[in-house]
Amino acid sequence: MPLSMYQASIPVFVKALTNLKAVLEKGAAYAQAKKIDESVLLEARLYPDMLTLTEQVQIAADMARGGAIRLTGGEPESWPDNEKTFAELYARIDRTIAYLKEFSAERFDGSETRQVTRKLRGELRTFTGANYLQQFVVPNLYFHSTVAYAILRHNGVDVGKLDFLGRLDFS
C-alpha cells in the first residue's frame, strides 16, 4: 500500500514537534542549572538577521498546523505569537499536537491533487497538495526545528542528533 498523505504528514508533524519540545526542555533545564535567565535563550539567534528561538518554534508549530488544515481544504485560524517562556512554548506545541491528532486519515483523501495557494515573498504560488507537503511544509517544519536546535546547541545546551531525531521506531 502506498504512503498516504495522512501518513506523510500528521505522524511526521507530531514526531517533529514532540522532539522539538524535548530539545526545548533540555534548554530550559540548562538555563535553570546555569542560572541563566531563560529569556536569554528564548531571544537568542544564530545571526543578527535571523529569527529568535521563540520565533523558530512558533513557525515550526504553525507550519504543521497550517499544513494540515490547508491539505484538507481549510485555512488555519490565527494564533497569537505571544509566548515569552519555555512553558508557554511547550503549551503551544502541546496545543498544536492536540489539534493535529483531531485529523482523521479520511480528511486527507484526495489532498495530493488539491490546489493550495499561498502568498510567498509577495507572490501567489499554487501547489498541488503533494508538492505543498513535500516542497514547502515538511522542509519548513524541519528548517525551523533545526534552527531552534542549533540556537540551543550554539548556546551550550547539551543536545545531539538523537535528541533531534527522537526515539526511532523500526516497526
What are the per-10-residue average pLDDT scores of the chain (171 residues)? 92 98 98 98 97 98 98 96 98 98 97 95 96 98 98 97 90 74
**DSSP label of 165:** H
DSSP E strands in the chain: the ranges are 115-120, 123-128
User: What is the rounded distance in angstroms from the CA atom of residue 66 to the CA atom of residue 61?
Assistant: 8
- Cell numbers 489539534 correspond to 99
pTM: 0.96
Residue 30 backbone phi and psi in degrees, to 5: -60, -45
Residue 133 backbone phi and psi in degrees, to 5: -65, -50
CATH assignment of 5-165, among 2.60.120.10, 3.40.1160.10, 3.20.20.20, 1.20.120.450: 1.20.120.450
Q: What is the pLDDT of residue 171?
A: 74
